[in-house]
Amino acid sequence: MNQPMKRPVTEDAPRGLVCRTCGCRHFRVLYTRRAWGGRLLRRRVCRHCGRRITTYEQPAGSLV
- Rounded Cα–Cα distance for residues 26 and 16 (Å): 10
Asked if pLDDT for residue 49 goes beyond 70, the answer is yes
Q: Which amino acid is at 50?
A: G
Rg (CA), the chain: 14
The confidence score (pLDDT) of residue 16 equals 85
pLDDT value of residue 54: 93
pTM over 0.75: no
Residue 4 contacts residue 26 (beta carbons within 8 Å): no
Residues 2-45 pLDDT 10s: 556 666 656 676 778 899 999 889 999 999 999 888 899 999 99
At residue 42, the pLDDT reads 94
- Helix-strand-coil percent breakdown of the chain, rounded to 5? 5, 35, 60
- pLDDT of the residue at 46: 94
Name 53's Cβ contacts closer than 8 Å, sequence gap at least 6. Answer: 17, 19, 27, 43, 44, 45, 46
